[in-house]
Amino acid sequence: MSSTMTAAVLHGAKTIKIEPQPMPALKPGMVRLRVRRAGICGSDLHYFEHGYCAAFVPTRPFILGHEFTADVAEVADGVESVRTGTRVTVNPARSCGFCEYCKAGRPNLCRKIIMLGSASTKPPTDGAFAEFVSVRADQCHALPASMDDGLGAMMEPFAVALQAVKRAGNISGKRVLVAGGGPIGLLVAMTARTFGAAPVALSDIVAARRDMAQKLGADIGLDPSAKNLAEQVRELTGDGFDVIFEASGARPALRQAFDLVRPGGTIVQIGTIGTEDVPLPANLLMNREINFIGSMRYGDVFDEAIRLVATKRIDLRTLITGVLPLADAGEAMRQAGDKSLALKVQIQIAKD
């Protein structure tokens, strides 16, 4: 195997270069993967557009990407859980496996997580916009032959949505609002509908995203800036929504959620709202007994996500709005940043 590979390397805001990089090391307990298809996430876009993501500032050029399908190209000595040639998707957040959070079944809260394609570590951890990437064997989840590479690369964002819906508890028959019509918000709306929520509404300031939500199964699209929004919500729900998923990462959307949730209802925070504190209506939280909880990435939900898609309980294909080759990674990022047209843009890296 060659000592180098081709990768799309982020050198700063708006600057991605296709260039050779060292082949990722194959350390004990790890596998080397040949990447087939990789999706562009909102965090990838933030790195591309600004050169950083929230508090994470790269200390060197690095490779983005953490949503992907790959073939197992090589396994380290002693690895028996994964076989060469297996097609997999990957949980890109490598937890330590030993802390109290990991042992309690909450690895997404591990304080020592290493995230692919992220500057949360110093130096940054390279990701999947490359021909090869190395991960720990237990991060791999085998894909059925019936699931194509595009859907396999959707398992990571779907896992985010699935984790959020599960954090809300039993939502069957509950009145649900999703704030934010980006890929994660749409996935949450679709997942909530699959789990029996009714009605399911989605709010977004972009009309095209409200329309898309209804095409994907949401009952109604709401404009959060509409002057008669409160009246629309009363007609739809009475006292307000049972559950609101805040998936936009916008401060006004989070504040508005406290006005639109019913007494005793639940707000699940999924969107990332920068690094500064956000003022919240503590009196409403108290006197209406609102449950305000967070949802961070995903717990142990990848295999469940794969089963739901493989059995066609949920169809994610419509969310894939573009596929470009690795050589055009910069253009793929620009297309993904067009909120009026793009949902999930993916990069084709290897072919059969």
Q: Domains of the chain (ranges plus CATH)?
A: 4-154+316-348 (3.90.180.10), 161-294 (3.40.50.720)
pLDDT single digits (tens) 133-178: 999 999 999 999 999 999 999 999 999 999 999 999 999 999 999 9
Is the pLDDT score of 351 beyond 80? no
Res. 76 pLDDT band, cuts 50 70 90: very high
CA–CA separation, 224 vs 236, rounded Å? 15
Give me the mean pLDDT over the 22-51 stretch: 97
How far CA 323 is from CA of 36, 149, 197, in Å, comes to: 12, 11, 32
Q: Residue 212 has what pLDDT?
A: 94
Count the Cβ atoms, other than its own, within 10 Å of residue 282. Answer: 9
pLDDT single digits (tens) 275-316: 778 899 999 999 999 999 999 999 899 999 999 999 999 999
pLDDT single digits (tens) 113-123: 999 999 999 99
What contacts 276, CB < 8 A, 6 or more positions away?
A: none
Mean pLDDT, the chain, whole residue set = 96
Q: Residue 323 has what pLDDT?
A: 98
Is the pLDDT score of 1 beyond 90? no
Give me the mean pLDDT over the 85-113 stretch: 96
Is the pLDDT score of 259 beyond 90? yes
Is the pLDDT score of 54 beyond 90? no
Q: Residue 273 has what pLDDT?
A: 86
